[in-house]
Structure 1
Amino acid sequence: MPDVQALVNDFVLKLKRRKIEGSQATAKHTAELLRQVVSQQRITYTNQAASLIDAVKAVGEQLIEANPVELAVGNIVRRVLHMIREENVSSAMSAVEELALGSDDDEAEHDNRMGLSAAAVAAAARSTLRAPSLQTLLEDIPDSATAPHPPSSGGDSEGKSKSAESSSRNKKLKHDVIEAINELIQEIDTCHELISAQAVEHIHQNEVILTLGRSRTVKEFLCAANEKKRSFRVFVAEGAPRYQGHVLAKELVGKGLQTTVITDSAVFAMISRVNMVIVGAHAIMANGGVIAPVGINMVALAAQRHAVPFVVLAGSHKLCPLYPHNPELLLNDFKCPSELLDFGEFSDCLDYGQLGDSPPIRVENPAFDYVAPKLVSLFITDMGGHSPSYVYRLIADYYSAEDLVVRRKSAP
């Protein structure tokens, strides 16, 4: 088996040097690395779930620190932590059920004690696996669920049997967590296909679609509608300064779609002719806001002004359980200034500024925009279509409240 720390160091180096591009590739690499961490974690018979959580948190802290802008890394780390907690509660409930089934010939007192244990585990499961709501507050939890149970007598034989059962349960927990991570990797691999399968429900005949820049999810979504004999037209804003819209336009023309390339400044002039705006996303925040490539907020404002639906396509691995104002987040990245201008064009200005006659010139090239939730009409994910107000429910299903903060704050 490969050394886990060597794999972690290699992945951290790739994240720091931006060698892995795209949220899907980053999420998949993170899930595969955490699967290695879980599989090689040594089993401790005291509390296997706690040891797995500590190991994943230690690795996740390094990964998040390496590239805080790539929010998919923290999302996958928190998803794996939630899986460990979920499988731990499920394993405990199944163990209690097995003991309860085997206690038919025991005394009534033993049966009552097992019933109380089952109630305690059920209450713990409700508090762990469900999001806080009024319904969970009103549910009945037995008063004796949290009461300590008296130790049962049985001697060394009973102690050995309990140790064997604990060892078997810990091994099963580890196996179940690895299987859950495998399903997560499969979900990341197939997210584009699941999103594209919903294209015919949203794109209709003779419509005009507007997008900006280049997104693989958007490309496959549009191509899937075209394969279903939908005849529509696409306006592609070029997405300066990287001009990824030119690449998307060539790809769409190659698939036989009617495509028109426009400048970013022409979006507001053309938006009145558009039936729908479809864009990709870098991340979806807990409040329903979107971190997207720069320029998309301008498109969202134009769409709102002309009452054009603004649809965001994103896989579930892009759901971030944190809010934009969270101090743990770094929401933007600045690209190389050479994408905006050549150094030789303003070299005389830089020399002039060094003399003290005027301040030196600054070139800002941000990578992302923040789109407020009120500007988004619909999210289309691999789990279906959802409104921005429903994002909190999806996040409650995928993450645990205890795992929202993975990275430790650095000392002042």
Structure 2
Amino acid sequence: MPDMQPLISDFVLKLKRRKVEGSHAVARQTAELLRSVVSQHRMSSTNQAAALADAIHAVGEHLIAANPIELAVGNTVRRVLHIIKEEDISFTAVGIEGLSVTAVSDDECDSGNDDRPTLSAAVLASHARNALRAPSLQTLLDDIPVSTALTHSSSSAGDSDGKTAGDKSLKTRKLKHDVIAAIGDLIEEIDTCYDQISEQAVEHIHQNEVILTLGRSRTVKEFLYAAKEKKRSFRVFVAEGAPRYQGHALAKELVEKGVQTTVITDSAVFAMISRVNMVIVGVHAIMANGGVIAPVGMNMVALAAQRHAVPFVVVAGSHKLCPLYPHNPEVLLNELKSPSDLLDFGEFSNCMNFSTQDGTPLLNVANPTFDYVPPKLVSLFITDTGGHSPSYMYRLISEYYSADDLVVRRKSTS
């Protein structure tokens, strides 16, 4: 795809230089780029869905490698791969259902018997999607005899060989069109996640409650705005979120909306947590085990909330749901920012000259970006699909991602 190479290279460069940061912006721009890749892809292979998936894999591995800490890139790539498989299976199921109906009609004309099971395209597509999901009690109970329908319908497939060749181009165009439309729905889902989450605010924030949050999160801000618009009266403690102090910006925005706000230092969280009814925070990513990657200092807040039996609630869009586990080798849990956020180089430049006998400097400055909060410290996830417990994350993963796409394949070096 030579026409797409400049766009791909430009987005890769933006990811490397951190010009695009934040799960929402990264996920949306990744989805837009992949939609362009699908629209420009020339589907000339016999297996159209596999060829399209290979193209997405090839682009996805470059995007993920450009900035591994932005897990939303990999999430979006895997969502698009799952969309391709679902659309291909749905199209195939519709074709199978049509063949089954034709065969039954011929039998009715000859003998008047109707012994063959006929399943609708929707049922076949639903059962086919279950094949993409991880085993669970629900999928085991969904016992639909698809194999019987496939066996009977295959007998009529031979009569339609002449039509198959003529329908390949139609299937190719329809598959690409359906995938592009589904990616458009994904982009709309990313854009509307704030509204979907905010609609649930009145169910969780009650009158005269005290809420604590850390730093600044747009999801948390919109969530609190929605509760205020519903005439909820509550108070917010905002931990400033050092060393970036984004909590100061959130406090200003809440005050402008008429929310009673108190700014506290991060070190005062444990002292103030006993006055709090609920902790509501935004995160960078939700892992498959229900743990979260969040701004630095969040694990301290979660431990304080657990010590005082305060609910620790995470609000996040479904594009932040990562199908990987923290122990996976391809997951980069953290990165270090510039030490200048913590220390002024001019004041401590003299300290840089002191070192041990082996040359190791005596002064080291660590400025990590993220914390990892284990699932046992999380009380509830509020996503655009509703509220879920940490133990339910596996079910959402089975709906959004295919098991084969959890690790993006690497191109062969041979």
Same fold (TM over 0.5): yes
The 1-side partners of 2:30 and 2:306 are apart by 36
**The residue matched to 1:106 in structure 2 has which SS?**
helix
> Which residue of structure 2 lines up, in the alignment, with residue 298 of structure 1?
300
Once the two structures are superposed, residues 358-406 of structure 1 have per-residue CA deviations (whole angstroms, 9 ceiling, x without a partner) of: 7442111000000010100110001111111111111110000000001
1:286–1:320 contact (8 Å) kept in structure 2: yes
> Which residue of structure 2 lines up, in the alignment, with residue 333 of structure 1?
335
Q: How does 1:259-338 map to 2 (within 5 A)?
A: 259-338=261-340
Alpha carbons of structure 1 residues 224 and 354: separation in structure 2 relative to 1, 3 Å? same
Q: Work out whether 1:125 is the aligned partner of 2:128.
A: yes
**The residue matched to 1:103 in structure 2 has which SS?**
helix
The 2-side partners of 1:252 and 1:126 are apart by 43
**The residue matched to 1:172 in structure 2 has which SS?**
helix
Q: How does 1:179-218 map to 2 (within 5 A)?
A: 179-218=181-220
> Which residue of structure 2 lines up, in the alignment, with residue 83 of structure 1?
83
Alpha carbons of structure 1 residues 136 and 382: separation in structure 2 relative to 1, 3 Å? closer
> Which residue of structure 2 lines up, in the alignment, with residue 30 of structure 1?
30
Q: Percent identity?
A: 70
Q: Work out whether 1:7 is the aligned partner of 2:10.
A: no
> Which residue of structure 2 lines up, in the alignment, with residue 232 of structure 1?
234
The 2-side partners of 1:32 and 1:397 are apart by 21
Alpha carbons of structure 1 residues 232 and 63: separation in structure 2 relative to 1, 3 Å? same
Offset at residue 5 of structure 1 (A):
1.1
1:45–1:166 contact (8 Å) kept in structure 2: no
Name the amino acid aligned to 1:8.
I
Name the amino acid aligned to 1:203.
I
Q: How does 1:8-407 map to 2 (within 5 A)?
A: 8-44=8-44, 46-106=46-106, 125=128, 128-134=131-137, 136-137=139-140, 139=143, 159-353=161-355, 359-407=361-409
The 2-side partners of 1:66 and 1:237 are apart by 32
The 2-side partners of 1:259 and 1:152 are apart by 69
Aligned residues: 408
2:239–2:266 contact (8 Å) kept in structure 1: yes
**The residue matched to 2:293 in structure 1 has which SS?**
strand
The 2-side partners of 1:112 and 1:56 are apart by 43
Offset at residue 23 of structure 1 (A):
0.6
**The residue matched to 1:42 in structure 2 has which SS?**
coil
Offset at residue 24 of structure 1 (A):
0.4
Offset at residue 115 of structure 1 (A):
6.9
Structure 1: state its 5+ residue gaps. none
Once the two structures are superposed, residues 144-189 of structure 1 have per-residue CA deviations (whole angstroms, 9 ceiling, x without a partner) of: 78989679766xxx54421112221221111111111000000000
The 1-side partners of 2:9 and 2:118 are apart by 48
Name the amino acid aligned to 2:213.
T
| TM-score, length-scaled by structure 2 | 0.90
The 1-side partners of 2:214 and 2:331 are apart by 25
The 1-side partners of 2:278 and 2:104 are apart by 63
Q: CA RMSD in A?
A: 2.9
The 2-side partners of 1:358 and 1:172 are apart by 63
Alpha carbons of structure 1 residues 146 and 256: separation in structure 2 relative to 1, 3 Å? same
Once the two structures are superposed, residues 285-322 of structure 1 have per-residue CA deviations (whole angstroms, 9 ceiling, x without a partner) of: 00000000000110000000000010001000000000
Alpha carbons of structure 1 residues 140 and 151: separation in structure 2 relative to 1, 3 Å? closer
Name the amino acid aligned to 2:333.
L
1:281–1:314 contact (8 Å) kept in structure 2: yes
Name the amino acid aligned to 2:343.
L
Offset at residue 343 of structure 1 (A):
1.1
Name the amino acid aligned to 2:190.
I
Alpha carbons of structure 1 residues 135 and 268: separation in structure 2 relative to 1, 3 Å? closer
Offset at residue 262 of structure 1 (A):
0.4
Alpha carbons of structure 1 residues 46 and 124: separation in structure 2 relative to 1, 3 Å? farther
2:127–2:144 contact (8 Å) kept in structure 1: no
Name the amino acid aligned to 1:15.
L
Once the two structures are superposed, residues 306-348 of structure 1 have per-residue CA deviations (whole angstroms, 9 ceiling, x without a partner) of: 0001000100000000000000111111111100001122221
2:197–2:386 contact (8 Å) kept in structure 1: yes
Name the amino acid aligned to 1:386.
H
1:215–1:279 contact (8 Å) kept in structure 2: yes
Offset at residue 46 of structure 1 (A):
1.0
The 2-side partners of 1:231 and 1:2 are apart by 57
| TM-score, length-scaled by structure 1 | 0.91
Offset at residue 271 of structure 1 (A):
0.3
Q: Which moved more, 1:121-130 or 1:356-365?
A: 121-130
Offset at residue 141 of structure 1 (A):
5.4
The 2-side partners of 1:183 and 1:112 are apart by 40
